[in-house]
Chain A
């Protein structure tokens, strides 16, 4: 099997195809600390792409409540269990080691990926190239199961349990995990397809299923560890998130036909999402683009981390981890960079504070940013570390360098007139 370089794992790994990388890659950062699970993103996607017959159970974008919720139900616990069993059979361990470096920012993953586990533990005759499973129909039916609270109904004005949660664990915390297709660098769906019906676009790295070539074998549904390829019974082929490619290409008249963020990103009420197109080197690593907000958040500040990097698909979705959640859980979900990411996010430096203001101020894709310095407005010491806040201005630029908007760290405070308290 060919060897490809996966920078998130800090090493080469086995993948069924030779590596070829797009010039630009669709990527995004979600700030889990800010999500309120309003599901506006979910409905924006649903009403755009999956409102037809046969797509009833299909939610390309979903927001699930962790640790109990999941769409399809228990998707991550199931694939982790499969991986764990594969390691037990082959005597390995899903662990990280080594020192972080330029080409290995999170150190080195020393366990097996879903590709390597399949090659080593699954009979070659089975034609299964990726470790995975096919969710049952029932598992697809409850996209927001256990949302917010896992307590049983016990009556009362709000149906709340008198004793809080009924399990001994997780009484205090939960968080929302926003999920779309990660448009992976090494897609498991693409690797698994026996028809080569799945392809990664060279212009933006968006992964698509060719609806003409697909014959609905559902190998992609089985293989995608994030379970973002879905089968449509009415057409008998599989479908997946298309990255709103017409918008990304710049065919949205509303924004003047410039590259525009996806519907789920643009509709985000909590301003937690930032999407972009990042430049890639020939070897798959990111071009050092110091002016790109995504490059800054992921490679410089390192506050945004990939979801389950150990699966090995090199997902292009990144998450700022929730700062209140127990670290062992987060390390399993986002890898070893969690502690550093939370430390930097909770006591942000000057640049990070300004870049975080860029989230959701405009639908047009931000290609670069600049910061104009403002005066210091606040300083204190948090957990023994100095924190300074400057009212800097963050300026966002589009594809051709045109200014999209400017925003300040301190936002104006508006108090609604009592006369119009409930109007909009």
Chain B
């Protein structure tokens, strides 16, 4: 992480490239985060905290821009899809 302010004349300065990102991109990202942490054992409250807490800039940005309903809706959908996971516990 850069520890100085931006200097436009600095040849090593950050150069950004805009890439079109549709609403689908948010969905892909939220889904990936929820699935990964769900499989690590996070419950619904803990997962939702990843979006509510401003410390997590990326997920929180989605929470602010798309709204709580979008996040909880997708979260619950993914939780429902993976719900039977509990049945498999203890198989090994």
Contact = CB atoms under 8 A, between A and B. Distances in A.
Interface string A85-126: 000000000000000000000000000000000000000000
B1 A377 contact: no
Interface string B1-39: 111111000011011111111101110110111000000
Contact of A164 (B3, B31, B58): B58
Chain A's interface size range is 35 or more
B63 to A, nearest CB: 11
A43 interface: no
A412 B16 contact: no
B62 interface: yes
Nearest to B21: A326
B25 to A, nearest CB: 4
A327 B27 CA distance: 12
A381 B25 CA distance: 21
Given A68-B14, A379-B84, A380-B83, A164 B20 contact: no
Given A323-B32, A326-B22, A172 B58 contact: yes
Contact of B6 (A145, A152, A325, A329): A152
Interface residues of B, number: 41
B18 A172 contact: no
A173 interface: yes
Interface string A243-262: 00000000000000000000
Contact of B88 (A67, A160, A328, A389): A389
From B16, B59, B62, B81, residue with most partner A Cβ within 10 Å: B16
A158 to B, nearest CB: 9
Interface string B37-76: 0000000000000000001011111100000000000000
A151 to B, nearest CB: 7
Interface string B77-92: 0000111110110011
B58 A412 contact: no
A142 B12 contact: yes
A25 to B, nearest CB: 32
Contact of B16 (A68, A138, A152, A323): A68
A380 B77 CA distance: 12
Interface in A258-287: none
The 6 A-B residue pairs with the shortest CB-CB distance, nearest first, are A164-B57, A324-B32, A378-B88, A153-B3, A326-B25, A172-B58
